[in-house]
A and B are shown apart, each in its own frame.
Chain A
């Protein structure tokens, strides 16, 4: 056993026995017994010293001292519970905020895919000046597989929300089609059953693999799920296996439920003009990326040369193939959230700094009152190092307790954020967990903060002069001039930090409110929308139009329903459709100018949203099969294609390839409504009647308003049951109000403004507590001198004024120092802002005004107390 603890008592017995034996020996040699004992002791030397050495030689001494210090620390904390609770809470908030944000960062920005050697994975993407657009069409992909040697495998995959039927009931899942070698390439083993392999691409029989998440949520983790079937596009797929729990797919935030062989999309596979999937490849060990890059690009260039794409399209979208690191999966989530997350991390660090400064001040004040204790301990022989160690142990204890409670705070905070992310039409699913990185981060942050907070108290402990401290007497504790400056500097520092946080909060709050004030182009946000998807077997447009007619009629009959309409998608839903057009009398300068957004709608749609008609008429029930094809365009389209002309009566010709495929004559112009984002200008739009479709769309959005304010949600059940009566296999999903939809597009702005406001106010509270504490403390210290001044004729009001002036100086110094940093922070955040500039004085004024008022208020009480000092009392009691 390596841990062999010998007791002190055992050692003492040995020493005594030694002396006994030596004395025996001396007596045997003829010494008188009385002298022998003494001589034996003398020969032994200093018994106490030897025992001390023995004590110190023990391996666990430090642990013993640590437990001693901890016990002592806990005892002192228990004697000052208010102090302890205040400090632990402050640290918990500071550390908790940092841990919460870091665990999100860890999940969104730092985590690698849970697959075999993710570093060797790359995505193959087409790139041009307009950005990247996924993998090249499947025929080119097949050539890449055959004609490159740098990869051990290449796999294609595409994800989409799919309607499937399980046990005859429709449901919506996050679906994926993937090459047969997809899982093998990722190096994955099935959690149950088997995963797909290349032979499954034959679809004989069709098989599918489900995710662990879906397995648990849909099938309750039933092991009998293997062998079950579901139907997708009239085909029965047999579930053959479950993917490992940690694998969610290659796109972070969008977990896959079901994976099917890519051959399920057999129509797309042959299409050499369809850009619809992503490609992931594994580099051979030792194969340089540059070689792989030039191999793939060579294949692509020969493919694109044959494609007869216009040169401009090639330059903008299909210029070359690039290999992108795939270790962290597709970058959508990272691109969207990396800036906001860094901003939040910066805010959280400022809050922690703030908390640390507050605690440093509290510790300093406490250190002053404990000066005597330290002095006495020094005088009775404690080493200074031992004292410092004691102090550090106490501070680390506080921060340790704070960090543990902070972890709990962080958990609930992160869960709230996860819920926010999971809202909206396309929920983002992140699941943070307490992994070693998060724990290591929390520990590092807590220890660093503890050391910062401990710096001043420890320095003071080093400089304690026992004689001085004891001489200063029992009842009074005094403070040197230097430490008064120190505590004030700390408060000024807090004021500066608070200013930065308040300015940050002001910019984000303004951004959010500016975006909320953005003219959406429609009046009603209290519109209930839901996606309705028809089952297979509605390939005939007539059949589905019949269904939509019945549905609209049924919904309009629901009591309380005011208006109802249908559209393929609604504003800000994140869905988008485009088509190529030509307009007589308009000369496009580039390919982009021929692109127009299209939506198919019914009568009632614009009425439901409250979109203003600017000219002509809206689409009616009569715009159906057999009547002339009509279109309504938005302002942008009118401005762009009919600059100085009247668009009414003109026509839009839709192109397929280079030929005109259909023409719609314009009957109306409506107000622009925001499309993908509140920040972007509205693109040109053409609204076509749903009953005069250009293509068949089985998935349509139903929009309804209520006569009662906020009554729209009560329609959900009646609508569901009415639709089920018409077609039981129709799938109703993505139920959401337009307001909710707008909110979900403002997700990052909402998170930023809420968190920065909460933290700004927290900082303000801490700063005011800091200022109050320091001023009260100073007044306590200066009681005697204030008393003397008043005895000599100073008026109470001048004393109060003096205190106010002191606090004014501290606040002004803090504001002055904080300003440049607040400006830098606002400038760094500028790309996230909307309608606010870092040079806008308003965002600073608010913070400065708030801090001044709060500073004034928190100085008021101590000032009053100072002016109430009774000179005779103060002088008598000191």
Chain B
């Protein structure tokens, strides 16, 4: 049976996305890695380090949760890079590239599927956060907006990790390259206030994209405390975080697509 015309962008993206999500729900190791790992690290911060870290004017858990969840997008991105590299290594990418489908569909599917997985992990960790004492100081719509921002950042970063996975070519190399997330996650305002770091580190920490993203999310969850703690209104952080998101997309997306098309 031969089709009259090949599958379009939407149809093929949906078909490939479905495969990636099925792979996730049917592979226990992947579920554990994506779900349990993030929550486990959260609990370690909450109970192990949390007692030693002091933030003015609020419980540490309320400071930590937005930062932890916003930087979570980086750690789940390592999974994306690894999965992309595995598909390349095992010939799956070759198969898809030899099919009469728009080449954009495969990468779009990967970005969408992994954003769905990230959303799941984020919701799971957020639920645990509420269970161990986190409370929302802003309104519910602000809380939802914070969640929306995290998912948007995640989608943009997926393209960075897709490009990384395509460049690495095998799973081990991709995991190694994924280590680049550590300085961005830790040298930021995510876990401790930037003011507590040595001066030279503050320069990087205060101006890198993750700090703006973390503070945008934080500002939406802290309500009236935000201005006092962060020194700027919510719109200041959100606009800068969105600008960074756009920059990341504009650079990473064409890079990933070019890498994929060249093979």
Do A and B come together as binding partners? no
Spell out A's residues near B (CB within 8 Å): none
